[in-house]
Amino acid sequence: MILKHLISSAIFCTRVGYVPHLASNGKDALQLLAEIRMDAILLDLMMPEMDGFEVLARIKKYPAWSEIPVFIVTTKDLAEAEMKLLKREARALFGKEGSWKADLLAEVHKAVGDSKLAKSAGQS
């Protein structure tokens, strides 16, 4: 199931003009971040080895990564405390139902565009 989800995500990102870098677990995601500068992060909460909550916490602790917009995409039923944490730490939260891909794409375009404008103005 993880492989199917990764392939689907890669195809979606590529079709809309982004270059995806895929990780099958949280540890691999952090390793990718150490190697490649990302414009945005799509993060699932339910991953093997290290869940998305831990990945998000580590991203936010590391100054070079903390300003990268993180978009949570999950099917997990969230407790109230988890929801509050994600609303505070992530750029946006999406469930995997309905038109989430279109909504996610709009938010990513906005965040990446905002980020590039700030960089060109010398604000980052």
Global pTM value: 0.80
Q: Are 70 and 43 in contact (CB under 8 A)?
A: yes
Give residue-wise pLDDT tens across range 27-41: 999 999 999 999 889
Provide long-range contacts, Cβ within 8 A and 24+ apart, for 17-24: 18/108, 24/48
Give residue-wise pLDDT tens across range 18-67: 778 888 899 999 999 999 999 889 898 988 899 999 999 999 999 999 99
Write the DSSP assignment of 4-68 as a string of letters: HHHHHHHHHHHHTT------SSHHHHHHHHHHS--S-EEE-S--SSS-HHHHHHHHHHSHHHHTS
Structural domains for the chain: 23-106 (3.40.50.2300)
